[in-house]
Every structure is written in C-alpha cells, then in structure tokens.
A and B are shown apart, each in its own frame.
Chain A
Amino acid sequence: AQSVTQLDSQVPVFEEAPVELRCNYSSSVSVYLFWYVQYPNQGLQLLLKYLSGSTLVKGINGFEAEFNKSQTSFHLRKPSVHISDTAEYFCAVTKGGNTGKLIFGQGTTLQVKP
C-alpha cells in the first residue's frame, strides 16, 4: 500500500527567505507524485507533478521539486517566498492505472512572516 508523510506540520519563514517542504512516500511500485496548494477557504490547485524524466520539476509561482527515488522523497522548494505564499501544501501520490486515486499527505502549513 502507498503512503505519504509530510515531515513538518507547520513551517514558519520570513519573507524573501528560501523554504523547503519535505515529503516522503512509500510504495512498492512506480508512482506519480504531485504537490497541491490550498489557499485559505479555497479548494486545492496543482503546483507541479512528477511523471517521469527529469527529476527536477518546475511548477507555478516559482516552486520546484526534486524526485529522489533512492530516498523516496519529493521535497518542494522555493528560493524566495512572498507573503502570498502563505497556504497549506499537500504532497500526493498515485500509482499507474486509470483510476487516478490520490493518496495525500497530512499537509504542511507555510506561514510567511513580514
């Protein structure tokens, strides 16, 4: 069975500082990996996804993530955060096939301080 662990429930950071949100997954089969963002009182929207190929994936709003198969990780990074990046971030995994069923991590709240 697949599972996703987000290692930090909250990450406080000052504006313009770099940030890394950590995600580890477990699966016995090849998986696809996603990062979604949820702004306050809204639904989720896709930041980026890893399907295959280059292990460094670039997404919207200056975010990027690196897939590391040996460490079963998919950490999200941004070199300089803005107040508007304050949100909850979810890592998710799905295996191949046509169901598209996502397994989500517990979420990490990014709090950007001025």
Chain B
Amino acid sequence: DAGITQSPRHKVTETGTPVTLRCHQTENHRYMYWYRQDPGHGLRLIHYSYGVKDTDKGEVSDGYSVSRSKTEDFLLTLESATSSQTSVYFCAISEGSSTDTQYFGPGTRLTVL
C-alpha cells in the first residue's frame, strides 16, 4: 500500500469554526490532491498541488484553502466550516502525469453541526 495517512480520521465540529485536515505521504510523489465524496456525486476535486508551494483549484474549491510547505504534507483548511461541507475527504497522490495511478488515503469523515 502507498504510504498515505490522513488526520484526523473523524471530526465533528460546529458551523463557523476553522478546520484543518492533514495528508501525509512517504512516497515522495510530486502531485497531491484533495477530493470530497458525497452520495450521488462520486468524488469531486477540491484542490491539488503539483509541487511545494504550487497549488491550483479543482471543481469545488469555494470555501477551502490548501497549503503545501513540504513535499510530504498537504493541508486542507476550511476557514469557516458550514453544514454543506459535511463530507468524507480523501487525499490522493501520484507521480505526476495524467496516465499515472492516483493512490488514495483512508479518508477523513467530517461532520459540521
């Protein structure tokens, strides 16, 4: 299994509070991604990173920010959580090109009350 961990694995928070989710990899892969999974929508890309300090938006980036200060860590921040951000969040990594396999972490289940 690819070395990807996500923390925390479960979190319950209240509307309006800031939340940071962490993705850590030990594979030295260049690309890292954050997806959210919701019933009936599959997985949707939030943000991705193609190197240290290099990030770009995905299809559902509103309300989210990311940072990547080290190759191994990719942080997803909800500045002010809303109930619509209740979801399961997955981190993925890949070596880079569109033909490369993405390897997924175990997920973080976030509930915003």
What per-residue 1/0 map shows which CB atoms of A55-91 lie under 8 Å from chain B?
0000000000000000000000000000000000010
- When the two chains form the complex, which single residue of A46, A90, A95, A100 contacts B43, counting CB atoms closer than 8 Å? A90
Nearest CB of chain B from residue A73's CB, rounded to whole Å: 17
The answer, yes or no, to whether B90 is at the interface (CB within 8 Å) is: yes
B40 touches A106 (CB 8 A): yes
Complex-state Cα separation, A32 to B97, whole angstroms: 11
B90 touches A44 (CB 8 A): yes
Question: Closest residue of chain A to B4, judged by CB?
Answer: A43
Q: What are the residues of chain B within 8 A of A106 when measuring CB–CB?
A: 40-42
- When the two chains form the complex, which single residue of B41, B45, B101, B106 contacts A101, counting CB atoms closer than 8 Å? B45
Q: How many A-B residue pairs have CB under 8 A?
A: 70
Q: Which of A1-39 contact B (CB under 8 A)?
A: 4, 6, 9, 32, 36
What per-residue 1/0 map shows which CB atoms of B11-41 lie under 8 Å from chain A?
0000000000000000000010101000011
The answer, yes or no, to whether B99 is at the interface (CB within 8 Å) is: yes
Interface hub of A9, A95, A100 (most chain B Cβ within 10 A) = A100
Nearest CB of chain A from residue B66's CB, rounded to whole Å: 14
A99 touches B98 (CB 8 A): yes
Q: What are the residues of chain A within 8 A of B40 when measuring CB–CB?
A: 9, 106
Q: Which of B37-61 contact A (CB under 8 A)?
A: 40-45, 48, 50, 56, 58-59
Q: Which 5 A-B pairs have the closest CB atoms?
A: A43-B104, A104-B42, A44-B104, A104-B43, A94-B98
**10 A-B residue contacts at CB 8 Å?**
A46-B101, A51-B99, A95-B98, A98-B50, A99-B56, A100-B97, A101-B33, A101-B48, A102-B43, A107-B42
